[in-house]
Structure 1
Amino acid sequence: MAAKLTEIFGMDVFSEATMIERLPKKTYAALKKTIKNGEDLDPAVAELVANAMKDWAIERGATHYTHWFQPMTGITAEKHDSFISPTPDGKIIMEFSGKELIKGEPDASSFPSGGLRATFEARGYTAWDCTSPAFLREDAAGVTLCIPTAFCSYTGEALDKKTPLLRSMEAISTQAVRILKLFGHDDVKSISCSVGPEQEYFLVDKAKYLKREDLIFSGRTLFGALPPKGQEMEDHYFGILKERIAAFMKELNEECWKLGILAKTQHNEVAPAQHEIAPIYSTANIATDHNQLVMETMKKVANRHGLACLLHEKPFAGVNGSGKHNNWSVVTDTGKNLLDPGKTPHENIQFLLFLAAVLKAVDDNADLLRLSASNAGNDHRLGANEAPPAIISVFLGDQLEDVVKQLVETGEATSSRQGGKLNVGVHTLPKFNKDATDRNRTSPFAFTGNKFEFRMVGSSMSIAGPNTILNTIVAEVLSNFSDELEKAENFDIAVHDLIKKTFTEHQRIIFNGNGYSDEWVVEAERRGLPNIKSLVEAIPTLVTEKAIKLFEKHNVFTEVELHSRAEIEFETYSKTINIEAKTMIEMASKLYIPAVIKYVSSLAASINSIKSAVPTADVSVQEGLLTKASSLLATANDALVKLQGYVVEAAEKEGQEQALYFKQVVFPAMSVLRTPIDELELIVEKEVWPVPTYGDLLFEV
C-alpha cells in the first residue's frame, strides 16, 4: 500500500509536477509568477495552459469540464460543458480554449445574492483561480475536469466565498510584509496563511437514515429520546474502528489522496457514531477547496458503503456535536512560521509582536469572529457537550501567559518556562521531553505550539468565512502597527513599548481556565467580553460602521457586499428553521400521532377485553399507561396546532424581523412539540414506533 500511495497521491490533480512536465518552460515560469506574485495572467499563457490541461484530462478519460465554484450556499456549484466542437464534415474535435479556462458564465440569479441581483438579472461570471490546482473527478457522470474559480456578478460584486478569502489573503500578506521589512527581512516578498481544518462527522446506516424525514430534510434529528447508553462511558473516543467504518475510511483516504488532499489523521470521536479526519496544512484557499472536496467525498463514499454521512453541527440532541477546528498560522515565502515562538519566546521580539497583533485583533473583533463561526446548526452546539462556549477568549498556555505577565508587570520578559522531562515511573518506558504548556479543549481560540486553533467553526461550514475574517482583522492590526513603527525614531524601543502596551490593553481576552464553567460566564461579563448567544444576534455585527470601514479599507468587502451577506444570513436562518418546523409538523401529523393513536387504541381495546373476560382483574398498569399516553398525545397535538399557526405567521414577515420571529417564537414552539413526543417514545412499544430511534442510529452501524 505504501508503494501504491506514492503512485496514486495527486494522480487526479493538474499539479505543479504535471505542469512542469507538460508546459513549455517559459509558460510555466509565467504562470508561476502569476501564482506567486499576483501578476496579471497573459492570455497567451492561459491558451497554452488550457491546451495542456485539456490533453491531460482527455488522456485520463475526461469528456467534460466545469468551473467549480463556491456560492453563498456554503457548498459548491458546477455546470458541465463537453470538450466537443463540430467540424464542417459533420464530425467533432476536442477543444478547450484559454478563454474557456479563464471565464465561465453561470446563471447568477438563482444563487443567494442578498439583493445584489434580481431574478431577471441573470448574468454572472466565474474566473479561474490559478492558485488552486485543477483536478479530475470521476463519478456516474464520467470523468470531469474541475477548475476552481471565483464567482462574481455582472456588476462586479463577489457572489461567493472564495473571492473575499483571496482578497483577505492579499491584505494580510501586504501588511505582514511591511512589519517584516522593519525587522530587516527584505528577502520576504509575501506571506501565506497556512490552514489545517479538522473535520468531524457522524456515520449512520443509510437504510435507517432514509426512514428519518428529519435527517433527510434538515440534517439533524428533530425528535428522539436518548438511549440508555450515550457517550458517558467514554469508550468510543479513539476506540477500535468497526469493520464497516474502517472500510469507509480506507476508501475515503484513497479518494482524498488521489485529489492531492493531505489526509493524515483518522479516529473515532467522542460521541457514538462520530469520527474525525484531519489533513496536513495547506495555504488557506487550497485548504478551503480541499475541505469542500473532503465533505463531498465523505458523502459519496459513505453512500457506497450503505452509510449516510451527517455533517450537521448537532445531529443528535444530548450527545457531542461536530465542529471543524480551524488551525491557522502565517508563513513567509522563505518558509518561516511567524507564530513559532522558538525555545525562548521571551527573546523572540518578532514573534511577540505578531502574537500581540493576534490578541488585539481577536479582542477588538470578537463579534466578527463569533459571526464567522455561526450558523443555525452551530447555535445548538456552542456551549454544549464538548464544544467551546459562545464567548470568545484566547488560550495561550502557561509559558506564553507567563511571558505576557512579565512584560505587563515589569516591562521586561527575562525568562520562558520550559517543559522538562516526563517520567511516568516505569523503567522500560522512555523518558521524554514534555511541552512547556498543556492544551485546553474548552478554549474557542487556542494557541497550540506554532498556530492558533479556532475551535468554534461548525462542521458543515465552509472555512472560507472564518479565515476571511481572521486574515482581515489581523491585517488591520498589522497595518496600524506598521504605521506607528515606520515613524519611530528608535525601532527597538518603539516595538518593545508597542508589545507591552498591546498586551496590557488586551490581556482581558486571555483565559487559560475551564471555558465550560458557569464561573467563566460571570468572569467574562466582568471583563466586558461579549457573549453573543446566537446567529441572529451576531449578524448585525457585519454591517456596523466599524466593520464596513475595516473591510473596505483592506478591499475585502464593499459596503454593498456586506449588506448583501447580512441579508443572506437572515434569509438562510429563516429558511433553515422553516424547513425544520415544517418537517416536525409533517412527522408529528403523519407518523408520531397516528402511531400513538394506534397504540392507545390497542391498549384501550386490551383493557376492555381483559375486563370483559375477568371483571375483577387488576388493569391499573394498563390504565396508567393509557392515561399517560393519552395526556401526552393531547399535549403534542396542542403544540402541533400552535406550531402550525406560528409557521403561517412567520411567512408574512421578512428579513431580520422574520429571522427574529423564527428564533424567538417558532424555535421555542418546536421544542414544546418535541418534548411530549420524546416522552411517548419511551412508553410506546418499539414495534409500533414509526422511525428508527437514537439507539438504532448511533449504535447499529
Structure 2
Amino acid sequence: MELKDLMDQYGCLTFGDEVMKERIPKSTYKAFHEALDNGEELSKETATVVANAMKVWAVEHGATHFTHWFMPMTGLTAEKHDAFLEPSGEKAILEFSGKTLRKGEPDASSFPSGGLRATFEARGYTAWDCTSPAFVKDGSLYIPTLFCSYTGEALDKKTPLLRSCDALSKAAVRLMPFTGADGVTKVTASVGAEQEYFLVDDKFFQERMDLKLTGRTLFGAMAPKGQELEDHYFGSIKRKVGAFMDELDRELWKYGIPSKTKHNEVAPAQHEVACVYSKVNITTDNNHLLMQVMQDIAKKHGLRCLLHEKPFAGVNGSGKHDNWSVITNTGINLFNPGSNPSENMPFVATLACTIRAVDKYADLLRMSIASAGNDHRLGANEAPPAIVSMFLGSQLDALVESVCSGDAMVSGGDTRFETGVAVVPTFAKDNTDRNRTSPFAFTGNKFEFRAVGSAQSVAGPNTILNAILADSMNEMADRIEGGKTLAEVVKEFITEHKRIIFNGDGYSKEWEEEATKRGLANNKNTVDALKCLEEAKNIDLLDGLGVYSAVELESRLEILLENYSKTIRVEGLTGLKMAKTQLYPAAIKYLESISTSYVVAKEAEIDADFLKEDVDGLACLIKTMKEQMATLESNISGCEAMEEDMMAQAAAWKDDVFGGLQELRSTVDAIEEVVGADYWPVPTYVDLLFGV
C-alpha cells in the first residue's frame, strides 16, 4: 500500500467530525458542536439531520444494519443489529430516523444489574453518545451508546465515565481562576492506553480446555526456558506475528484508532500495542474495539490472542497502562510542570489535588482495577504491588519538599545525556526517571496508572481518577473561598497526604513494611479490595459528585462480587474436569507403563530399584492428586450450597476453591515434570510459549 493510500484510509470507517462537516448543513454542524461544547441536549431536528447523513454514509461503506453499541457490566461490549431496510408495500426503503439514532430499547434482561431490576423487568434504554464517533464494521453501523435502566440507573460503564468527566470539568473550571489560569471553561481528561497481550498457535489453544473456557492455563509446568535471558523483550518480531501486527495496525487506522507503537514484551509470546492519546471517552471506546479487532485478526493468522492478565504462571503477566492527563480548553496540560514548576501554579495546585486524591481514595483506585485475573499479576514482581502509592521523581519530590519546608526550590537545571561517543550528539535528559514498580507514576506530563489489567475496560479506573481529582479540586476551592490562600491550601494538601509518595522499589519487602507503618492498605485480592464500596466516605464522594448513586454503588458491589465468584467457579470446574478426564488418566497410564517395565526387569533379574523409585514417587503424587481432586470437588459443592451474603460467598470461593485449585495445580505440575511427553494429553508451556 502506498503512503498516500495509507493516509487516505485513516479513519475511513469512522463517521468523524470531518465527514460530518462535509455531509450536513453548516447550521446543523454548528448546532451540533454548540450542544457538545456547552453540555446541552441535542435537539431532535439536529439528530434527524445527522441520522440521515450517517445512514447514507454507512450504506456507501457497505452497511446494511445498525446497532447501538454499549458497555454492560460484563466488562465487554454488547450489540443488537437491526436492518436499515423497511418494507413499503411491495418494495422496501432504507429507514433510520433521528429518534432511532438517539434511543434504543434492547431487551437486555440477562445483563448484570446487581438487583437494580428483576429479570421480568427487562426494559432498558440505550442513548446515543454523540461525543464518540460512529463507525462501520462487518456490514453494520456501530453507534456508541449509554445503557440505563427504565428508572434511570446506569447499567453500563460509559454512563458513570461521562458523569465523572462532567464532574472533573466543573471542579477544575471552578478552581482554575484561583491559580491564575484565565479563560478556562472546560477541562477534559486525556488518556492513552498501552495494551499487552499474548499470541499462541490456534492448534495448541484448541487442545487446552482451560484456555478455551477461562483464558488462562490452570495447569502447566514451567518450560526450561522462560524470560530470564531477556531475549524476547524488544526483540526481532517473528514473521507470523509481524503479519498479524501489520494487519492489526491497518485495520485500526481505518477506524481512526491511532495505533502508534508495537513491540515484543518481556515474556515469550507476549506483545504490546500502544495508541496516541485521545479524550478519555474516545480512548475507552477505541480500546474496546481494539481488543475485539485484535482477537478477530489473530484467528485469521492461525493464532489466538490472549487478554487474560495471567495466562501463564511463572512468566510476566499482561497489563494495560493507563496514561492519564488533564487538559484545559485553553490548551494547558495541568500535569505539565513546565520549565519552572514551582512558579506554575495551575500545575502545583493540580499536583497537590492529585496527591490528596490518591492518598484519600487509594482504596477506590485499588478497587477499580480489582479482578480475579488481575489478582494473579499485582504484586508478583512483574507488575505494581497491590499497595497504591505515587511516584513523582526527583524534580517533583524536591518541589514537594520545598512546599512543606517553605524553602525555595533548588532546580538542578537542564542536564545533558552523554554517551561518551564523540560523534553522537548530547541531548537534554527528562526531568525524572521511570519507576515501573509504582502503580501510579508521574512520567513527565501525565500520570501512568500501571495497575490496570489487560482484559479490563479503562472506563472504570478513569471514572475513579476523574472523580477523586474532582473532589480534591472542589475541596481546594472550598478552602480558598473560605479565606485561605492557594499556597496555604497546597501546603495543607501535600503535608497531610505526602505519605502516599514513594519513589523507591515497590517490589521490595521493605516497602511492604514501610507502607504498613504509613497506614497504607495492602489489599492483595479482589474480595478485600471490594469492601471499600461499603464505606461511607466513598459512597458520599461518588454520590455527591453524581457519578454513581448510592443504589448504583450497591449494585456494582453485588455485580463485582458475583462476577468474581462465577469466575472462580468456572476455573474450579474446568480444572476439575481437566484433572479427572485428561491429566489423571494420563498419569495412571504412564504409571502402568513404568510399573510394567519394573516387573519385567525384576523377572529378568535386572537390578531395577531405580524404576521402583520412579513408580513409588509417581504413585505418591497421583494419590495426592486424587485426594486434592476430591477436596476441590467437595469445596465447589460447599460454595454452591452457601446461603450467606455475597461477600462471604466470594471469600469462600477465594479460600476454598481458588486455594484448592492452586494446591491441585502444584501436584499436577510436578506430575507433568516426570510423565513421558508422549503420554501428556495437552500442549505444554514449551508448545504454547515457543510454538509460534
Q: TM-score range, shorter-chain basis?
A: over 0.9
After TM superposition, the structure 1 = structure 2 runs for residues 239-254 of structure 1, keeping only pairs within 5 Å, are 239-254=235-250
In structure 1, C-alpha distance between the alignment counterparts of 2:61 and 2:663, rounded to whole Å: 56
Conserved 8 A contact 1:403-1:416: no
Q: Measure the CA separation in 1 of the matches of 2:37 and 2:684.
A: 53
Matched residue SS, 1:425: coil
Report the equivalent of 1:451. 446
Residue 353 of structure 1 corresponds to 349
1:287 and 2:278 equivalent?
no
For residue 232 of structure 1, give the secondary structure of its aligned residue in structure 2: coil
Alignment of 1:631-670 (within 5 A): 631-653=620-642, 655-670=646-661
Alignment partners' CA distance in 1, 2:546 and 2:210: 41
Q: What is the CA-CA distance between 1:484 and the residue it aligns to?
A: 1.7
Matched, 1:389 2:385: yes
The answer to whether the Cα contact below 8 Å between 1:108 and 1:153 also exists between their aligned partners in 2 is: no
Q: Tell me whether 1:200 sits opposite 2:196 in the alignment.
A: yes
What's 1:63 paired with? 64
Q: Does 1:107 align with 2:98?
A: no
Residue 686 of structure 1 and its aligned partner are, at CA, apart by 0.7
TM-score (norm 1): 0.97
Aligned-pair CA distance for 1:593: 0.5
Look up the SS of the partner of 2:232 in the other structure. Answer: coil
- Pairing 1:423–2:418 present: yes
| Counterpart residue identity of residue 468, structure 2 | I
Shift of 1:106: 0.9
Question: What does residue 162 of structure 1 align with?
Answer: 158
Which residue does 1:628 correspond to in 2?
617
Distance 2:595 2:523 in 1: 50
- Comparing 254-263 and 343-352, the one that deviates more: 343-352
Percent identity of the aligned residues?
55
> Where in structure 2 are the equivalents of 1:280-359 lying within 5 Å?
280-359=276-355
| Distance in 2, Cα, partners of 1:436 & 1:161 | 36
Deviates more, 1:69-78 or 1:36-45: 36-45
Distance (whole Å) between structure 1 residues aligned to residue 619 and residue 32 of structure 2:
72
Give the superposition deviation at 1:119.
Answer: 1.1
1:69-80 counterparts in 2 under 5 A? 69-80=70-81
State how far apart, in whole Å, the 1-side matches of 2:381 and 2:510 are: 17
Task: Give 3-state SS (helix, strand or coil) of 2:125's partner.
Answer: strand
Residue identity matched to 2:443? T
Partner of 2:259 in structure 1?
Answer: 263
CA distance in 2, matches of 1:185, 1:525: 39
Q: Aligned pair count? A: 689
Secondary structure of the equivalent of 1:330? strand
1:475 to 2:464 alignment: no
Cα distance in 2, alignment partners of residues 349 and 675 from structure 1: 55
Q: Which residue of 2 aligns with 1:31?
A: 32
The separation in 2 between residues aligned to 1:671 and 1:185, in whole angstroms, is 55
Following superposition, the deviation at residue 335 of structure 1 comes to 1.5
d(CA) in 2 for partners of 1:64 and 1:485?
54
Alignment check: 8 A CA contact 2:431 2:444 kept = no
Unaligned runs of 5+ in 2: none
For residue 668 of structure 1, report the CA deviation from its aligned partner.
Answer: 1.1
What is the CA–CA distance in structure 1 between the aligned matches of 2:224 and 2:345, rounded to whole Å? 55
Q: Is the 8 A contact 2:381 2:507 kept in 1?
A: no
Paired residue for 1:556?
547
- Note the C-alpha offset of 1:670: 0.7
Unaligned residue ranges in structure 1 (runs of 5+): none
For residues 412 and 150 of structure 1, what CA distance do their matches in structure 2 show? 50
Query: Following TM superposition, by how much is the alpha carbon of 1:436 offset from its aligned partner in structure 2, in angstroms?
Result: 2.2
Is 1:603 aligned with 2:607?
A: no
- What is the SS of the residue equivalent to 1:514? coil
User: How do 1:231-242 and structure 2 match up within 5 A?
Assistant: 231-242=227-238
* Alpha-carbon distance between aligned partners in 2 of 1:235 and 1:563, rounded to the nearest angstrom: 47
Q: Render the CA deviation track for 1:100-146: whole Å, top value 9, x for unaligned.
A: 100011123200000111111111000000000000102xxxx1100
Q: Give the letter for the 2:134 counterpart.
A: A
Looking at structure 2, the residues matched to 356 and 69 of structure 1 have their Cα atoms a distance apart, in angstroms, of 35
Matches within 5 A, 1:670-685: 670-685=661-676
Deviations 1:560-605 (A, max 9, x none): 0000000001100000000000001100000001111111111122
Confirm whether residue 136 of structure 1 aligns to residue 136 of structure 2: yes
- Structure 1 residue 432 corresponds to structure 2 residue 427: yes
Q: Report the secondary structure of 1:392's partner residue.
A: coil
Deviation for aligned residue 1:470: 0.6
Match of 1:362 among 348, 358, 361: 358
Shift of 1:499: 1.2
- Report whether the alignment pairs 1:461 with 2:464: no
Q: Helix, strand or coil: the match of 1:244?
A: helix
Whole-angstrom distance in 1 between the partners of 2:399 and 2:536: 35
Offset of residue 487 of structure 1: 3.8
**1:518 and 2:509 equivalent?**
yes
Which of 480, 489, 496 is residue 485 of structure 1 equivalent to? 480
Alpha-carbon RMSD:
1.0
How far 1:184 moved relative to its partner?
Answer: 4.5
CA contact (8 A) 2:390 2:441 kept: yes
Deviations 1:357-408 (A, max 9, x none): 0000000000000000110001010001320000011000000101111221
